[in-house]
Amino acid sequence: MGAEFCSPKPLHPYTLIPLHAYTPNIIGMLKELFSIRDRYRILHQTWFAFFLTFVCWFNFAPFATTIGKQLQLAPEQIKTLGICNLALTIPARLIIGMLLDRFGPRKTYSILLIFAVIPCLATALSQDFNQLVISRLLMGIVGSGFVVGIRMVAEWFPAKDMGIAQGIYGGWGNFGAFGAEFALPMIAVSTGFLAGGASNWRLAIALTGIIAAIYGVIYYHSVQDTPPGKIYKRPKKNGALEVTSIKSFWAMMLSNFGLIFALGLLAWRLAQKNIHFITISQMYLVWFLLVGLFVYQTYQAYQVNKELLIGKKTYSPSQRYQFRQVALLEFTYVTNFGSELAVVSMLPAFFEKTFSLEHVVAGMIAATYPFLNLISRPSGGLISDKFCSRKWTITIISIGIGATYLTAHFIHSNWPIPLAIAVTMFAAYFAQAGCGATYGIVPLIKKEVTGQIAGNVGAYGNFGGVIYLTIFSLTDAPTLFTTMGIAALICAFMCAFFLKEPQNSFTDTSTSELPDNSVQNSAVLAED
Protein backbone atom coordinates (compact mmCIF):
# COMPACT_ATOMS: atom_id res chain seq x y z
CA MET A 1 0.00 0.00 0.00
CA GLY A 2 1.26 3.45 -0.81
CA ALA A 3 2.45 5.75 1.93
CA GLU A 4 -0.29 8.24 1.12
CA PHE A 5 -2.82 6.06 2.93
CA CYS A 6 -0.94 6.42 6.20
CA SER A 7 0.08 10.05 6.14
CA PRO A 8 -1.96 12.45 8.28
CA LYS A 9 -4.40 14.76 6.46
CA PRO A 10 -6.57 17.68 7.62
CA LEU A 11 -9.64 16.65 9.53
CA HIS A 12 -13.17 17.15 8.32
CA PRO A 13 -14.54 20.43 9.75
CA TYR A 14 -17.11 18.73 12.00
CA THR A 15 -14.51 16.91 14.10
CA LEU A 16 -14.54 17.75 17.76
CA ILE A 17 -10.88 17.61 18.71
CA PRO A 18 -7.73 19.41 17.45
CA LEU A 19 -5.76 18.38 14.41
CA HIS A 20 -2.70 17.43 16.44
CA ALA A 21 -4.66 14.53 17.96
CA TYR A 22 -4.20 12.63 14.73
CA THR A 23 -0.47 13.03 14.27
CA PRO A 24 1.58 9.84 14.21
CA ASN A 25 2.89 10.78 17.64
CA ILE A 26 1.57 8.09 19.98
CA ILE A 27 2.18 10.25 23.04
CA GLY A 28 -0.14 12.89 21.62
CA MET A 29 -2.76 10.25 20.98
CA LEU A 30 -2.50 9.01 24.56
CA LYS A 31 -2.98 12.54 25.87
CA GLU A 32 -6.22 12.79 23.93
CA LEU A 33 -7.23 9.33 25.07
CA PHE A 34 -7.10 10.30 28.73
CA SER A 35 -8.69 13.71 28.19
CA ILE A 36 -12.16 12.15 28.72
CA ARG A 37 -13.93 14.66 26.52
CA ASP A 38 -15.87 14.62 23.28
CA ARG A 39 -15.41 11.36 21.35
CA TYR A 40 -13.08 9.97 24.02
CA ARG A 41 -15.79 10.33 26.63
CA ILE A 42 -18.06 8.23 24.40
CA LEU A 43 -15.27 5.68 23.94
CA HIS A 44 -14.69 5.34 27.69
CA GLN A 45 -18.37 5.09 28.55
CA THR A 46 -18.87 2.47 25.83
CA TRP A 47 -15.92 0.24 26.68
CA PHE A 48 -17.09 0.26 30.30
CA ALA A 49 -20.52 -0.92 29.17
CA PHE A 50 -18.79 -3.75 27.31
CA PHE A 51 -16.66 -4.43 30.41
CA LEU A 52 -19.76 -4.98 32.53
CA THR A 53 -21.36 -7.33 29.99
CA PHE A 54 -18.20 -9.44 30.06
CA VAL A 55 -18.07 -9.49 33.85
CA CYS A 56 -21.60 -10.88 33.75
CA TRP A 57 -20.89 -13.26 30.89
CA PHE A 58 -17.87 -14.80 32.60
CA ASN A 59 -19.11 -14.71 36.19
CA PHE A 60 -19.57 -18.50 36.23
CA ALA A 61 -16.04 -19.64 35.27
CA PRO A 62 -14.29 -18.57 38.53
CA PHE A 63 -16.79 -20.59 40.58
CA ALA A 64 -17.14 -23.60 38.26
CA THR A 65 -15.39 -26.01 40.63
CA THR A 66 -17.13 -24.67 43.75
CA ILE A 67 -20.57 -24.74 42.14
CA GLY A 68 -19.88 -28.23 40.82
CA LYS A 69 -19.13 -29.50 44.33
CA GLN A 70 -22.07 -27.76 46.00
CA LEU A 71 -24.63 -28.86 43.40
CA GLN A 72 -22.99 -32.26 42.83
CA LEU A 73 -22.34 -31.75 39.12
CA ALA A 74 -20.32 -34.17 37.00
CA PRO A 75 -17.20 -32.81 35.22
CA GLU A 76 -18.97 -33.27 31.87
CA GLN A 77 -21.87 -31.14 33.11
CA ILE A 78 -19.51 -28.32 34.11
CA LYS A 79 -17.92 -28.39 30.65
CA THR A 80 -21.36 -28.35 29.07
CA LEU A 81 -22.31 -25.24 31.06
CA GLY A 82 -19.29 -23.53 29.51
CA ILE A 83 -20.67 -24.33 26.06
CA CYS A 84 -24.17 -23.15 27.05
CA ASN A 85 -22.65 -19.85 28.11
CA LEU A 86 -21.66 -19.25 24.49
CA ALA A 87 -24.55 -20.83 22.59
CA LEU A 88 -27.26 -18.18 22.35
CA THR A 89 -24.65 -15.48 21.78
CA ILE A 90 -24.43 -16.82 18.23
CA PRO A 91 -27.98 -15.90 17.13
CA ALA A 92 -28.10 -13.02 19.62
CA ARG A 93 -25.21 -11.21 17.94
CA LEU A 94 -27.02 -11.40 14.60
CA ILE A 95 -30.28 -10.13 16.10
CA ILE A 96 -28.56 -7.43 18.15
CA GLY A 97 -26.72 -6.32 15.01
CA MET A 98 -30.03 -5.77 13.18
CA LEU A 99 -31.59 -3.98 16.16
CA LEU A 100 -28.47 -1.86 16.49
CA ASP A 101 -28.54 -0.66 12.89
CA ARG A 102 -32.23 0.18 13.23
CA PHE A 103 -32.47 1.74 16.71
CA GLY A 104 -28.90 2.90 17.40
CA PRO A 105 -26.28 1.85 19.97
CA ARG A 106 -27.54 4.08 22.79
CA LYS A 107 -30.92 2.36 23.14
CA THR A 108 -29.63 -1.11 22.26
CA TYR A 109 -26.75 -1.14 24.76
CA SER A 110 -28.88 0.33 27.55
CA ILE A 111 -31.59 -2.32 27.19
CA LEU A 112 -29.03 -5.12 27.02
CA LEU A 113 -27.30 -3.94 30.21
CA ILE A 114 -30.60 -3.78 32.07
CA PHE A 115 -31.52 -7.26 30.79
CA ALA A 116 -28.28 -8.67 32.27
CA VAL A 117 -29.75 -8.68 35.77
CA ILE A 118 -32.19 -11.47 34.78
CA PRO A 119 -29.69 -14.26 33.92
CA CYS A 120 -27.36 -13.14 36.72
CA LEU A 121 -30.07 -13.55 39.34
CA ALA A 122 -31.19 -16.79 37.69
CA THR A 123 -27.67 -18.20 38.02
CA ALA A 124 -27.36 -17.01 41.60
CA LEU A 125 -30.63 -18.72 42.55
CA SER A 126 -30.04 -21.98 40.64
CA GLN A 127 -30.33 -25.21 42.62
CA ASP A 128 -29.51 -27.85 39.99
CA PHE A 129 -27.94 -28.46 36.58
CA ASN A 130 -31.11 -27.82 34.57
CA GLN A 131 -31.62 -24.39 36.12
CA LEU A 132 -27.99 -23.53 35.49
CA VAL A 133 -28.30 -24.51 31.81
CA ILE A 134 -31.27 -22.18 31.34
CA SER A 135 -29.60 -19.30 33.14
CA ARG A 136 -26.34 -19.68 31.20
CA LEU A 137 -28.17 -19.91 27.88
CA LEU A 138 -29.84 -16.59 28.71
CA MET A 139 -26.49 -15.19 29.77
CA GLY A 140 -25.25 -15.80 26.24
CA ILE A 141 -27.53 -12.98 25.09
CA VAL A 142 -25.59 -10.57 27.32
CA GLY A 143 -22.41 -11.69 25.56
CA SER A 144 -23.68 -10.10 22.35
CA GLY A 145 -23.09 -6.61 23.76
CA PHE A 146 -19.72 -6.34 22.04
CA VAL A 147 -21.39 -5.77 18.66
CA VAL A 148 -23.15 -2.61 19.86
CA GLY A 149 -20.02 -0.69 20.71
CA ILE A 150 -18.41 -1.45 17.34
CA ARG A 151 -20.95 0.79 15.62
CA MET A 152 -20.83 3.43 18.36
CA VAL A 153 -17.05 3.76 18.12
CA ALA A 154 -17.16 3.72 14.30
CA GLU A 155 -19.57 6.67 14.36
CA TRP A 156 -17.26 8.79 16.50
CA PHE A 157 -13.75 8.02 15.20
CA PRO A 158 -11.98 8.63 11.85
CA ALA A 159 -11.00 5.74 9.60
CA LYS A 160 -7.27 6.17 10.19
CA ASP A 161 -7.70 5.60 13.93
CA MET A 162 -10.27 2.85 13.61
CA GLY A 163 -7.86 0.10 14.68
CA ILE A 164 -6.71 1.71 17.92
CA ALA A 165 -10.20 3.01 18.81
CA GLN A 166 -11.83 -0.39 18.26
CA GLY A 167 -8.87 -2.05 19.98
CA ILE A 168 -9.30 0.07 23.10
CA TYR A 169 -13.03 -0.55 23.10
CA GLY A 170 -12.64 -4.29 22.63
CA GLY A 171 -9.54 -4.74 24.77
CA TRP A 172 -10.57 -2.70 27.77
CA GLY A 173 -14.06 -4.14 27.58
CA ASN A 174 -12.70 -7.69 27.34
CA PHE A 175 -10.84 -6.91 30.55
CA GLY A 176 -14.18 -7.71 32.15
CA ALA A 177 -13.21 -11.37 31.81
CA PHE A 178 -10.23 -10.63 34.04
CA GLY A 179 -12.46 -8.71 36.42
CA ALA A 180 -14.65 -11.77 36.74
CA GLU A 181 -11.74 -14.20 37.15
CA PHE A 182 -9.80 -12.08 39.63
CA ALA A 183 -12.25 -9.95 41.60
CA LEU A 184 -15.35 -12.13 41.92
CA PRO A 185 -13.65 -14.92 43.93
CA MET A 186 -12.33 -12.33 46.38
CA ILE A 187 -15.79 -10.75 46.71
CA ALA A 188 -17.30 -14.18 47.28
CA VAL A 189 -14.73 -15.13 49.91
CA SER A 190 -14.92 -11.80 51.76
CA THR A 191 -18.72 -11.66 51.83
CA GLY A 192 -18.86 -15.30 52.89
CA PHE A 193 -16.36 -14.61 55.67
CA LEU A 194 -18.34 -11.63 56.92
CA ALA A 195 -21.46 -13.78 56.95
CA GLY A 196 -19.65 -16.49 58.88
CA GLY A 197 -20.02 -19.04 56.09
CA ALA A 198 -18.33 -20.45 53.03
CA SER A 199 -17.53 -18.66 49.77
CA ASN A 200 -20.63 -16.66 48.80
CA TRP A 201 -20.60 -17.17 45.04
CA ARG A 202 -24.32 -16.52 44.74
CA LEU A 203 -24.05 -12.96 46.04
CA ALA A 204 -21.03 -12.21 43.84
CA ILE A 205 -22.83 -13.36 40.68
CA ALA A 206 -26.06 -11.52 41.55
CA LEU A 207 -24.10 -8.33 42.24
CA THR A 208 -22.68 -8.26 38.69
CA GLY A 209 -26.18 -8.14 37.17
CA ILE A 210 -27.40 -5.44 39.53
CA ILE A 211 -24.44 -3.19 38.73
CA ALA A 212 -24.91 -3.75 34.96
CA ALA A 213 -28.58 -2.78 35.15
CA ILE A 214 -27.81 0.42 37.05
CA TYR A 215 -25.16 1.38 34.48
CA GLY A 216 -27.63 0.68 31.67
CA VAL A 217 -29.80 3.53 32.96
CA ILE A 218 -26.75 5.81 33.29
CA TYR A 219 -25.55 4.97 29.77
CA TYR A 220 -28.93 5.78 28.23
CA HIS A 221 -28.92 9.27 29.73
CA SER A 222 -25.28 10.18 29.01
CA VAL A 223 -24.31 9.19 25.43
CA GLN A 224 -25.36 10.03 21.88
CA ASP A 225 -25.35 7.80 18.80
CA THR A 226 -23.41 10.25 16.61
CA PRO A 227 -21.40 13.47 16.92
CA PRO A 228 -23.50 16.67 16.99
CA GLY A 229 -25.04 17.51 13.66
CA LYS A 230 -24.51 14.09 12.10
CA ILE A 231 -27.30 11.73 11.01
CA TYR A 232 -27.34 8.09 12.12
CA LYS A 233 -27.55 6.13 8.88
CA ARG A 234 -29.88 3.15 8.96
CA PRO A 235 -30.19 0.30 6.45
CA LYS A 236 -32.84 0.71 3.77
CA LYS A 237 -34.13 -2.82 4.41
CA ASN A 238 -34.52 -4.76 7.64
CA GLY A 239 -34.65 -8.47 8.43
CA ALA A 240 -31.42 -9.65 6.82
CA LEU A 241 -28.13 -8.37 5.44
CA GLU A 242 -28.26 -6.73 2.04
CA VAL A 243 -25.61 -8.09 -0.34
CA THR A 244 -24.56 -6.74 -3.71
CA SER A 245 -24.09 -9.82 -5.90
CA ILE A 246 -25.59 -13.27 -6.36
CA LYS A 247 -22.30 -14.92 -5.37
CA SER A 248 -22.33 -12.97 -2.12
CA PHE A 249 -25.89 -14.12 -1.44
CA TRP A 250 -24.89 -17.79 -1.60
CA ALA A 251 -21.79 -17.11 0.47
CA MET A 252 -24.03 -15.52 3.11
CA MET A 253 -26.28 -18.59 3.08
CA LEU A 254 -23.26 -20.81 3.72
CA SER A 255 -22.20 -18.54 6.56
CA ASN A 256 -25.66 -18.73 8.12
CA PHE A 257 -25.61 -22.53 7.89
CA GLY A 258 -22.33 -22.63 9.83
CA LEU A 259 -23.95 -20.83 12.76
CA ILE A 260 -26.97 -23.14 12.69
CA PHE A 261 -24.56 -26.10 12.69
CA ALA A 262 -22.91 -24.81 15.89
CA LEU A 263 -26.28 -24.69 17.64
CA GLY A 264 -27.09 -28.21 16.41
CA LEU A 265 -23.76 -29.38 17.80
CA LEU A 266 -24.68 -27.94 21.18
CA ALA A 267 -28.01 -29.79 21.11
CA TRP A 268 -26.15 -33.03 20.33
CA ARG A 269 -23.81 -32.42 23.25
CA LEU A 270 -26.73 -31.86 25.65
CA ALA A 271 -28.23 -35.18 24.56
CA GLN A 272 -25.14 -37.26 25.42
CA LYS A 273 -25.57 -40.01 28.04
CA ASN A 274 -23.24 -38.35 30.54
CA ILE A 275 -25.17 -35.05 30.35
CA HIS A 276 -28.87 -36.08 30.34
CA PHE A 277 -30.21 -32.56 29.80
CA ILE A 278 -32.37 -33.47 26.79
CA THR A 279 -33.43 -36.79 25.32
CA ILE A 280 -32.58 -38.01 21.82
CA SER A 281 -36.14 -37.25 20.72
CA GLN A 282 -35.82 -33.71 22.07
CA MET A 283 -32.51 -33.35 20.25
CA TYR A 284 -34.20 -34.24 16.97
CA LEU A 285 -36.91 -31.70 17.75
CA VAL A 286 -34.26 -29.02 18.32
CA TRP A 287 -32.63 -29.95 15.02
CA PHE A 288 -35.99 -29.67 13.28
CA LEU A 289 -36.50 -26.21 14.78
CA LEU A 290 -33.01 -25.18 13.71
CA VAL A 291 -33.76 -26.29 10.16
CA GLY A 292 -36.90 -24.17 10.34
CA LEU A 293 -34.82 -21.24 11.59
CA PHE A 294 -32.41 -21.64 8.68
CA VAL A 295 -35.32 -21.73 6.22
CA TYR A 296 -36.74 -18.57 7.80
CA GLN A 297 -33.33 -16.85 7.62
CA THR A 298 -33.06 -17.83 3.97
CA TYR A 299 -36.55 -16.49 3.25
CA GLN A 300 -35.77 -13.19 4.97
CA ALA A 301 -32.50 -12.89 3.08
CA TYR A 302 -34.34 -13.60 -0.18
CA GLN A 303 -36.93 -10.92 0.56
CA VAL A 304 -34.27 -8.32 1.31
CA ASN A 305 -32.23 -9.22 -1.78
CA LYS A 306 -35.11 -10.26 -4.09
CA GLU A 307 -34.60 -7.52 -6.67
CA LEU A 308 -30.93 -8.46 -7.00
CA LEU A 309 -31.63 -12.18 -7.33
CA ILE A 310 -34.31 -11.82 -10.03
CA GLY A 311 -32.20 -9.36 -12.01
CA LYS A 312 -34.21 -6.20 -11.40
CA LYS A 313 -31.44 -4.48 -9.49
CA THR A 314 -27.71 -4.13 -10.01
CA TYR A 315 -25.11 -2.34 -7.95
CA SER A 316 -22.45 -0.04 -9.31
CA PRO A 317 -18.83 -1.02 -8.62
CA SER A 318 -18.63 1.65 -5.91
CA GLN A 319 -21.53 0.04 -4.02
CA ARG A 320 -20.45 -3.60 -4.21
CA TYR A 321 -18.65 -5.67 -1.63
CA GLN A 322 -17.63 -9.32 -1.49
CA PHE A 323 -19.28 -11.28 1.29
CA ARG A 324 -16.51 -13.85 0.95
CA GLN A 325 -14.17 -11.20 2.35
CA VAL A 326 -16.52 -10.86 5.32
CA ALA A 327 -16.31 -14.67 5.60
CA LEU A 328 -12.52 -14.43 5.87
CA LEU A 329 -12.91 -11.99 8.74
CA GLU A 330 -15.33 -14.46 10.32
CA PHE A 331 -12.61 -17.11 10.09
CA THR A 332 -10.03 -14.83 11.70
CA TYR A 333 -12.45 -14.22 14.57
CA VAL A 334 -12.93 -17.97 15.00
CA THR A 335 -9.20 -18.37 15.49
CA ASN A 336 -8.59 -15.37 17.75
CA PHE A 337 -11.72 -14.55 19.75
CA GLY A 338 -13.11 -18.09 19.51
CA SER A 339 -9.93 -19.44 21.04
CA GLU A 340 -9.97 -16.71 23.68
CA LEU A 341 -13.49 -17.69 24.73
CA ALA A 342 -12.50 -21.34 24.98
CA VAL A 343 -9.32 -20.70 26.94
CA VAL A 344 -10.91 -18.24 29.38
CA SER A 345 -13.64 -20.79 30.07
CA MET A 346 -11.31 -23.75 30.69
CA LEU A 347 -8.08 -22.20 31.98
CA PRO A 348 -8.93 -21.90 35.72
CA ALA A 349 -9.83 -25.60 35.92
CA PHE A 350 -6.82 -26.48 33.74
CA PHE A 351 -4.35 -24.79 36.11
CA GLU A 352 -6.15 -26.16 39.14
CA LYS A 353 -5.94 -29.77 37.94
CA THR A 354 -2.55 -29.61 36.19
CA PHE A 355 -0.69 -28.03 39.10
CA SER A 356 -2.97 -29.12 42.03
CA LEU A 357 -3.80 -25.55 43.05
CA GLU A 358 -6.60 -24.08 45.13
CA HIS A 359 -9.40 -22.83 42.90
CA VAL A 360 -8.95 -19.19 43.99
CA VAL A 361 -5.22 -19.31 43.21
CA ALA A 362 -5.80 -21.10 39.92
CA GLY A 363 -8.42 -18.50 38.95
CA MET A 364 -6.04 -15.63 39.67
CA ILE A 365 -3.25 -17.25 37.65
CA ALA A 366 -5.58 -18.01 34.76
CA ALA A 367 -6.69 -14.38 34.87
CA THR A 368 -3.34 -13.43 33.30
CA TYR A 369 -4.89 -14.47 29.98
CA PRO A 370 -7.76 -11.94 29.92
CA PHE A 371 -5.61 -9.41 31.82
CA LEU A 372 -3.52 -8.74 28.72
CA ASN A 373 -6.60 -7.40 26.94
CA LEU A 374 -5.70 -4.00 28.41
CA ILE A 375 -2.75 -3.73 26.03
CA SER A 376 -2.86 -6.58 23.51
CA ARG A 377 -6.10 -5.81 21.68
CA PRO A 378 -5.40 -2.06 21.46
CA SER A 379 -1.88 -2.82 20.25
CA GLY A 380 -3.26 -5.09 17.52
CA GLY A 381 -5.47 -2.23 16.36
CA LEU A 382 -2.64 0.29 16.64
CA ILE A 383 -0.29 -1.90 14.59
CA SER A 384 -3.03 -2.22 11.99
CA ASP A 385 -3.27 1.60 11.86
CA LYS A 386 0.47 2.31 11.75
CA PHE A 387 1.77 -0.68 9.80
CA CYS A 388 -0.14 0.61 6.78
CA SER A 389 -1.39 -2.86 5.88
CA ARG A 390 -4.38 -4.28 7.69
CA LYS A 391 -4.15 -7.49 5.67
CA TRP A 392 -0.56 -8.34 6.63
CA THR A 393 -1.13 -7.30 10.23
CA ILE A 394 -3.82 -9.96 10.69
CA THR A 395 -1.78 -12.51 8.71
CA ILE A 396 1.34 -12.16 10.86
CA ILE A 397 -0.65 -12.12 14.09
CA SER A 398 -2.45 -15.32 13.04
CA ILE A 399 0.93 -17.03 12.64
CA GLY A 400 1.76 -15.95 16.21
CA ILE A 401 -1.54 -17.41 17.46
CA GLY A 402 -0.77 -20.74 15.85
CA ALA A 403 2.79 -20.93 17.15
CA THR A 404 1.91 -20.11 20.77
CA TYR A 405 -1.04 -22.50 21.01
CA LEU A 406 1.05 -25.33 19.58
CA THR A 407 3.63 -24.55 22.29
CA ALA A 408 0.90 -24.60 24.97
CA HIS A 409 0.14 -28.18 23.90
CA PHE A 410 3.23 -29.31 25.84
CA ILE A 411 2.31 -27.72 29.22
CA HIS A 412 2.16 -30.38 31.98
CA SER A 413 2.58 -30.74 35.73
CA ASN A 414 6.41 -30.88 35.56
CA TRP A 415 6.63 -27.43 34.03
CA PRO A 416 7.54 -24.49 36.31
CA ILE A 417 4.36 -22.52 36.87
CA PRO A 418 5.99 -19.22 35.75
CA LEU A 419 6.87 -20.82 32.40
CA ALA A 420 3.30 -22.06 31.94
CA ILE A 421 2.02 -18.56 32.72
CA ALA A 422 4.48 -17.05 30.22
CA VAL A 423 3.31 -19.34 27.42
CA THR A 424 -0.30 -18.53 28.31
CA MET A 425 0.41 -14.80 28.18
CA PHE A 426 2.10 -15.01 24.78
CA ALA A 427 -0.88 -16.94 23.43
CA ALA A 428 -3.19 -14.35 24.98
CA TYR A 429 -1.31 -11.48 23.37
CA PHE A 430 -1.51 -12.82 19.83
CA ALA A 431 -5.14 -13.97 20.11
CA GLN A 432 -6.30 -10.64 21.51
CA ALA A 433 -4.17 -8.56 19.15
CA GLY A 434 -5.81 -10.50 16.33
CA CYS A 435 -9.22 -9.40 17.60
CA GLY A 436 -8.10 -5.77 17.46
CA ALA A 437 -6.73 -6.17 13.94
CA THR A 438 -9.91 -7.89 12.73
CA TYR A 439 -12.16 -5.10 13.94
CA GLY A 440 -9.81 -2.54 12.46
CA ILE A 441 -11.34 -3.70 9.15
CA VAL A 442 -14.95 -4.62 10.01
CA PRO A 443 -16.34 -1.06 10.49
CA LEU A 444 -14.94 0.02 7.11
CA ILE A 445 -17.12 -2.34 5.08
CA LYS A 446 -20.54 -0.71 4.65
CA LYS A 447 -21.45 1.96 7.14
CA GLU A 448 -25.24 1.58 7.37
CA VAL A 449 -25.02 -2.17 8.06
CA THR A 450 -21.97 -2.10 10.33
CA GLY A 451 -23.99 -3.68 13.13
CA GLN A 452 -25.06 -6.64 11.01
CA ILE A 453 -21.58 -7.27 9.62
CA ALA A 454 -20.06 -6.92 13.09
CA GLY A 455 -22.74 -9.29 14.35
CA ASN A 456 -21.86 -11.90 11.73
CA VAL A 457 -18.14 -11.69 12.47
CA GLY A 458 -18.76 -11.65 16.22
CA ALA A 459 -21.10 -14.62 16.01
CA TYR A 460 -18.36 -16.64 14.38
CA GLY A 461 -16.15 -15.88 17.36
CA ASN A 462 -18.76 -17.65 19.45
CA PHE A 463 -19.01 -20.37 16.80
CA GLY A 464 -15.31 -20.96 17.36
CA GLY A 465 -15.80 -21.00 21.12
CA VAL A 466 -18.56 -23.62 20.86
CA ILE A 467 -16.51 -25.81 18.49
CA TYR A 468 -13.37 -25.55 20.60
CA LEU A 469 -15.15 -26.20 23.89
CA THR A 470 -16.95 -29.18 22.37
CA ILE A 471 -13.57 -30.59 21.32
CA PHE A 472 -12.28 -29.94 24.84
CA SER A 473 -15.29 -31.65 26.42
CA LEU A 474 -14.63 -34.76 24.32
CA THR A 475 -10.82 -34.83 24.57
CA ASP A 476 -8.34 -32.92 26.72
CA ALA A 477 -6.47 -29.62 26.97
CA PRO A 478 -3.45 -30.58 24.81
CA THR A 479 -5.76 -31.61 21.97
CA LEU A 480 -7.64 -28.32 22.30
CA PHE A 481 -4.41 -26.28 22.11
CA THR A 482 -3.25 -28.24 19.07
CA THR A 483 -6.56 -27.77 17.26
CA MET A 484 -6.56 -24.02 17.89
CA GLY A 485 -2.95 -23.73 16.76
CA ILE A 486 -3.50 -25.55 13.47
CA ALA A 487 -6.68 -23.56 12.75
CA ALA A 488 -4.78 -20.28 13.26
CA LEU A 489 -2.03 -21.31 10.84
CA ILE A 490 -4.63 -22.23 8.21
CA CYS A 491 -6.23 -18.83 8.79
CA ALA A 492 -2.88 -17.11 8.26
CA PHE A 493 -2.51 -18.88 4.91
CA MET A 494 -6.03 -17.88 3.84
CA CYS A 495 -5.47 -14.23 4.79
CA ALA A 496 -2.12 -14.07 3.00
CA PHE A 497 -3.54 -15.31 -0.29
CA PHE A 498 -7.22 -14.31 -0.30
CA LEU A 499 -7.84 -11.34 2.03
CA LYS A 500 -7.76 -8.05 0.13
CA GLU A 501 -6.29 -4.84 1.48
CA PRO A 502 -8.92 -2.16 2.15
CA GLN A 503 -8.50 1.26 0.59
CA ASN A 504 -9.42 4.54 2.27
CA SER A 505 -8.86 2.98 5.69
CA PHE A 506 -6.19 5.47 6.74
CA THR A 507 -8.05 8.72 6.10
CA ASP A 508 -8.67 11.44 8.66
CA THR A 509 -12.41 11.30 7.99
CA SER A 510 -14.99 9.49 10.09
CA THR A 511 -16.54 6.43 8.47
CA SER A 512 -19.91 8.12 8.85
CA GLU A 513 -18.61 10.99 6.69
CA LEU A 514 -16.89 9.03 3.93
CA PRO A 515 -18.91 9.22 0.71
CA ASP A 516 -20.56 6.04 -0.51
CA ASN A 517 -17.93 5.55 -3.19
CA SER A 518 -15.14 5.87 -0.62
CA VAL A 519 -15.64 3.25 2.07
CA GLN A 520 -17.56 0.91 -0.16
CA ASN A 521 -15.18 1.12 -3.10
CA SER A 522 -12.36 -0.63 -1.28
CA ALA A 523 -10.41 -3.71 -2.17
CA VAL A 524 -12.00 -5.57 0.73
CA LEU A 525 -15.36 -4.60 -0.74
CA ALA A 526 -14.37 -5.06 -4.35
CA GLU A 527 -16.75 -6.12 -7.09
CA ASP A 528 -17.47 -9.85 -7.27
pLDDT tens for 98-140 read 888 889 999 999 999 999 999 999 999 988 888 998 999 999 8
End-to-end CA distance of the chain: 21
> CB-based contacts of 510: which residues, under 8 Å, 6+ apart?
12, 15, 155, 156, 157, 158, 159, 227, 230
**Mapping DSSP to helix (H, G, I), strand (E, B) and coil, where does residue 358 land?**
coil
What pLDDT sits at residue 101? 86
What pLDDT sits at residue 27? 61
**Residue of 236, 235, 240 lying closest to 298 (CA atoms):** 240
Report whether 119 contacts 142 (CB < 8 A): yes
Provide DSSP, 46-100: HHHHHHHHHHHHTSSGGGHHHHHHHTT--HHHHHHHHHHHHHTHHHHHHHHHHHH
| CA 244 – CA 264 distance, rounded (Å) | 30
The DSSP 8-state label assigned to residue 229 in this structure reads T
| CA 505 – CA 497 distance, rounded (Å) | 20
- Separation in Å, CA 47 to CA 406, 477, 494: 32, 31, 31
**Mapping DSSP to helix (H, G, I), strand (E, B) and coil, where does residue 521 land?**
coil
Report whether 344 contacts 58 (CB < 8 A): yes
| CA 170 – CA 189 distance, rounded (Å) | 29
**Mapping DSSP to helix (H, G, I), strand (E, B) and coil, where does residue 180 land?**
helix
> Alpha carbon 350 to chain centroid distance?
23
**Residue of 17, 47, 48 lying closest to 35 (CA atoms):** 17
| CA 221 – CA 173 distance, rounded (Å) | 20
Report whether 108 contacts 148 (CB < 8 A): yes
**Residue of 479, 378, 424, 409 lying closest to 172 (CA atoms):** 378
Cα angle 258-262-268, degrees, rounded to a multiple of 5: 135
**Residue of 96, 60, 78 lying closest to 177 (CA atoms):** 60
Q: SS3 string of 398-411? A: HHHHHHHHHHHCCC
What pLDDT sits at residue 6? 56
**Domain chopping of the chain, boundaries:** 20-225+237-519
What pLDDT sits at residue 480? 95
Q: Which amino acid, residue 213?
A: A
User: Is domain 20-225+237-519 given the CATH code 1.20.1250.20 in the classification?
Assistant: yes
Cα-Cα-Cα-Cα torsion 76, 82, 87, 89, nearest 10 degrees, comes to 180
Per-residue pLDDT for the chain (528 aa), expressed as one digit of tens each? 433 445 444 444 334 434 344 444 556 666 677 777 788 899 999 999 999 999 999 888 888 888 888 888 888 788 788 778 877 888 888 889 888 888 999 999 999 999 999 999 999 998 888 899 899 999 989 988 989 999 999 888 888 888 888 999 988 888 887 778 778 888 887 776 444 444 588 889 999 999 999 999 999 999 998 888 888 888 777 778 888 889 999 999 999 998 899 889 888 887 877 776 788 998 999 999 999 999 999 999 999 999 999 988 888 887 788 888 899 999 999 999 999 888 987 888 889 889 988 877 887 788 777 778 888 999 988 888 888 788 899 999 999 999 999 999 999 889 999 999 999 999 999 999 999 899 888 887 777 777 888 888 988 988 898 899 889 888 989 999 999 999 999 999 999 999 888 766 666 655 445 444 343 444 333 334
